[in-house]
Amino acid sequence: MEQPTPNLPDTNRLSVLAATVLLAYAVTPFIQLPARAIQVQLPGIFLSFSLTFSTLTSVIAAALAGFGSDWLLRQHPRYDETRAARHWLLPALTALVIGVPLNNLHAGVEWWVVFSFGGLLLVGVCAGEYIAADPQDPRYAPVSALLSAVSFALFLVLAVGLRGAGLRMYLIVPALVGALFLTVLRTLYLRLGERWVWTWPLGIAVVMGQMAAGLHYWPLSPLQFGLILLGPAYALTSLAVSWEEGGSFAGQWIEPVLMLAAVWGLAALVKQ
C-alpha cells in the first residue's frame, strides 16, 4: 500500500471506509425482514414503536463510519489516540443521516441519486476530519467552517426526513435533540480553537427539543419544519461562539439575527 500524502487521507483506506458504509445501505432494499414491535409501559404513558431492518442498518452504518474514521486517522502524522474520538462524531452522524432519505425512498433513480450523493458527502466529511486533525494545517480554518456547515445541513436533512416519515413525537424529539447536541458540540469545538464547551450544546439542544415538540402539531411541510428548527439552532450556536470569544455585545447579535431572518424567510416561502 502506498504511503499517504502528508495531511491527506490514504485513498485506499478512504475508499474501503466509504464502500463498507455504502454496502450496508446498498443491500437494504433487497432484504425484507418483519419489523419487531417494541413496547414500553412507563408510569402514565405507553410507548410503542417498530424496530425495522432499515433502522438497524442505519445504526450499524453510523458505527462503521465512526470506527472507520479512527482507522483512517491512524495514518495521520499527528494522530493522537486520546483525541481521536472527537473526529468520529461527524462521520457517524453523516452515515446515520444518509439512511433517513434512503429508507424512505423506493429503489429507483431517486434512490441511487441520493445514494451517490451520500457517498460523496461521506468521503468529503472523512477527508475534512483528517485535515482538521492538525490545527496547524493552513487548510484548517476553511475546512472547519465547511464541516460546521455540513453538520447543520445534516441536521436539516434529519429533521425533514423524520417529519416526512410521519413518526410520533416521542421518537422525533429525542433523535433531533441528540443530533443537535453533537452538531453544536462539534461546531463549537472547531470554531473555538479546539476547546470543549458543554453547557451551550446542552442548553441549545434542550430548547430546540421543546420547540420541535410544539411544532410537531403545526400543519407544516417537512421542509418548513426543518427550516424553522434550523434557523434558531444555527443562530444560537453562532451567538454561543461570539459569546465565548468575548466579542462586543452589539456585534454578537448581527450574524444570529441575519441568519435567523434568512432561514425563516425561506421557510415562509416554501409551499405546504
Single out the residue of 141, 156, 10, 139 nearest to residue 74, CA to CA.
Answer: 10
The pLDDT of residue 126 is above 80: yes
Show the cell assigned to 159. Answer: 429533521
Q: Indicate whether 29 pLDDT > 80.
A: no
User: Which pLDDT belongs to residue 1?
Assistant: 43
Give the per-residue pLDDT at 164: 85
Cα angle, residue 179 at apex, residues 195 and 169 outer, rounded to 5° = 145
* Residue pLDDT, tens place only, 250-265: 667 787 888 889 999 9
pLDDT above 90: percentage of residues in the chain: 19
Question: How far apart are the C-alpha atoms of 160 and 154, rounded to whole Å?
Answer: 10
User: Is 50's pLDDT higher than 80?
Assistant: no
Highest mean pLDDT range out of 38-42, 68-72, 175-179? 175-179
Cβ-Cβ contacts under 8 Å for 233 (sequence gap 6 or more): 152, 155, 180, 183, 184, 204, 208
- Phi, psi angle pair for 42, to nearest 5°: -110, 165
